[in-house]
Amino acid sequence: MGVVYLAHGPQGHAVALKVLRPHVVGDEEGRGRLAREVSSLRRVRSPRVAKVYDADPWGDPPFVVTEYVHGRSLHELVRSEGALGRERLQAVAVGLAEAIAAVHRVGVLHRDVKPSNVLVAEDGPVLIDFGLAKQADDPALTATGWLLGTPGYVAPETLYGDEATPAVDVHGWAATVAFAASGSSPFGEGAAMAILDRARRGEYDLSGVPADLLPVVKECLSPVPLDRPTAAELVSSLTGLSASAPAATADGAAAGQASPQPASGTRPLTEPVGATPPEEEEPEHAREPLPPTPSDSRRLSTAPMRALVRSAWFALLAIGLGLVPYVALALLLVLTWLMRTADRSTASLINRRAIRGVRRGDRLLNVLASPWHLLATVPGTLLLVLSTAVAGAVAMGAWWILGLPDTQRMLGGGIVAAAVWCWGPGSRRARRAAGRVVWRVAKPGASGWSWSGVPAGMVILVILVGGGSVIWWPGPSVPVDLDDLLPISIRL
C-alpha cells in the first residue's frame, strides 16, 4: 500500500506518517471515499484504535498521519516469544474486539485485520491501518492480479468478489486470535491458493485456542458471513457486558467533546497535526486499562449459557410438536415467518451500509421495505414448516410400526420435526435470527437462567395440562388412526 515513516508533528510528538501509493487510493471517487472514511475515523474515541490526526487523499502523494504506538506488532511478538499465555491472550482478544466495534460504530470497516496490524503496547493491543485497505475502484483487487487481504486472514466471501461487510473484520479477529494462541494461522501454511481454499471451506486448526474462547472463535470463522456475530455482540460475549453498553465513545459529541473542525478556507482533513485541540491529545499513560483478565468474576465466554438456552428451547419445540401438534405448528409457522423476515431485513441493512456507508435513514428504509421482506420470505417459510410437519409425521409412523405407545411415538416424531426445523431445507435464515436472539439474552446470571427457565416452565405446563397425553386441540382427535387405516398389523 505504501511506506510508513516515524515522523514528528509541529509540537514535537511522534506520529506515524503513511505515504500511500496513488494506484491504491484510486481516482477522484476513490480519494473521496478515503476522505469520508478518514473523517469518520477521526471521531473514534477508543484506546484500542490508533488516532487519525491528519490526511490528504488529494495530495501528491496522498498521505495519512496517525498516532504512533510504542510496541511491537502481534506478529513479531508471537514469532519471537511464541504463543501468548492464557491471560495475555484473553486481554488481546477483548481489546481487539473493542477496537473493531469502535471502528464499526462510525461506519468504517478495517478489511485487513491481521497480526501485523495489531500493535501490542504495554497497556494492551492497538489496531492500526484501519479503513485504508480497500480504496481502489475494483471491490476485490488493489491492482491486476493482487488479492485484497492476506491469505489466512482474509474472509472467504471476498474470494467471490462480494462487497465487504462488518463480518469481514469479525473473521479477521478470529484468525488473529487463533494465531496469537497457537503461533500459526488457523488455515495452515503453504501455497496462497491452498490457504484461501481452506478458508472458503471452513477448514481450520484451532488446537491452541483455550476451551473458553473456542466456541466464539469457531462461530466467527464461519464461511457464511451472516452466521458470525457482530462486533458489538462479540464484545458482549467476551466481557459479559451488555451489547448495548458502548466499549468506547464513537464520536466527540458522545464524549462530551466537540469533533475537530477544519480551519476556514482549507480542505477538510488536511489541517496540521498541531491543530488538534489540546483536550483531545491523550498521553500514553492516559490509555484506559484493558478489561480485567479471567481472574475477575466475569466470565470470558457465554458459550455454556448459550448452549443451555438453545437446548431448553429445542426441548420445548420438540415436546410442543409432539404433545400439542396443531397449536405448535401454528405458532411455529408465524414465528418462522417473522424470524426469516427479520434475518432478511438485517442482511439488507448490512449490505446497504457496506455499499453506501452508514446513513441516518437506513433504519427507516428497512421499515418501509418490510412488506416486501414479509412477502419474499413466504415461500421459504412454507417449505420449512411443511418439511417439519412431514418429517414428524413420517417419524411417528415409523415409531408406530415399531409398536411404541402413542405418547412415545408422538414425542419421537416431535424430536425429529424439531431437528428438521433447525437444520432442514430453508432453515438457515430462521436459525440465524434465533441465534442473534440467543447471543443477546444468554448472558451469565439472571438473564441467561431466565431465558432457560421460561421454556422449561412451558414444558411442565404442557405436560400438566395434558396429563402426559397428546392434546389435539382445536381438532377433536387424532386425524388418522393407523390401527383403523391398516387393520392387519404390520408392526414388528
Give the active site residues: 112
- Using CA atoms, how far apart are residues 369 and 244, in angstroms rounded to an integer? 25
Secondary structure tally for the chain: helices H, strands E: 17, 9
Beta strands in 98-187 (DSSP E): 118-121, 124-127, 141-143, 146-147
CA angle 129, 3, 280 (to 5 degrees): 45
Q: How far is CA 457 from the centre of its chain?
A: 31
CA atoms within 13 A on the CB side of 12: 0
- Direct distance between the N- and C-terminal alpha carbons of the chain, in angstroms, rounded to an integer: 72
The DSSP letter of residue 386 is H
Instruction: Report the length, in residues, of the chain.
Output: 492
Q: In terms of DSSP H, where are the helices of 357-425?
A: 362-368, 370-376, 378-401, 406-423
Give the gyration radius of the chain's Cα atoms: 27
The DSSP letter of residue 50 is P
Q: Contact, 119 vs 72, CB < 8 A?
A: yes
Q: In terms of DSSP H, where are the helices of 186-324?
A: 192-201, 214-220, 231-239, 303-323
Amino acid at 41: L
Q: How far is CA 277 from the centre of its chain?
A: 35
- For residue 275, give the nearest of 52, 63, 57 by alpha carbon: 52
- For residue 428, give the nearest of 317, 487, 343 by alpha carbon: 343
Which triple of cell numbers denotes residue 74? 502481534
* Secondary structure (DSSP) of 163-202: PP-HHHHHHHHHHHHHHHHHSS-TT-SS-HHHHHHHHHHT
- For residue 107, give the nearest of 141, 135, 130 by alpha carbon: 130
For residues 422, 425, 428, 434, the Cα torsion angle rounded to the nearest 10 degrees is -30
The torsion angles phi and psi of 351, rounded to 5 degrees, stand at -65, -40
Place of cell 417419524: 395
- Using CA atoms, how far apart are residues 85 and 149, in angstroms rounded to an integer? 27
